[in-house]
A = this chain, B = another copy of it.
Amino acid sequence: MAESTGEQLLFLTDEQLRQGIEAMFFAYRGFTADPDRILDEMAYGRAHHRAIHFINCAPGTTVNNLLNILGVTKQSLNRVLRRLIEDGLVESKVGRMDKRERHLFLTEEGKALESRLSDAQRARMRAAYRKAGPEAVAGFRQVLEAMMDPDMRRNYHALRETKT
């Protein structure tokens, strides 16, 4: 029913849209601020965080797979991955079926860092959700999803379907 009236009620001035744009900018900064502080301690960056996050939620994923999700070049990811492997946070296993592939897993140490980062980020998200209330949260998710590129939306949904 929200949708049925939606089209008519939605008079969007450029000013309102600009507010949305700025809100997105400042909110994203808040969103990454807590993990960034933790990562700084051990001289990692956001790229390491992203890799750890997605390896954690899809253990055994291949490098190529991760590439598609993260949307960077394989060379860029490789640098990050190499350091995570050297530091013993990530393990890379040669594929049994296809020996060209490497399957990625977090070590215990890797999982520990993932938890620290995740907890920090979730805490802020939880606080924001509580402050805004459940209806706001539903709206938040709807708008975010509508804002994604179709390709990325596919990745986003794929992540929660393929709980292998």
Interface residues of A (CB under 8 A from B): 2-3, 5-7, 9-10, 12, 14, 17-31, 33, 50, 53, 57, 71, 118, 121-122, 124-149, 152-153, 155-156, 159-160
Contact = CB atoms under 8 A, between A and B. Distances in A.
Interface residues of chain A: helix, strand, loop or mixed (majority): helix
A132 to B, nearest CB: 4
Copies of this subunit: 2
Contacts of A133: 2-3, 5-6, 10, 142
Contacts of A23: 141, 144-145, 148, 156
B122 A27 contact: no
A122 B18 contact: yes
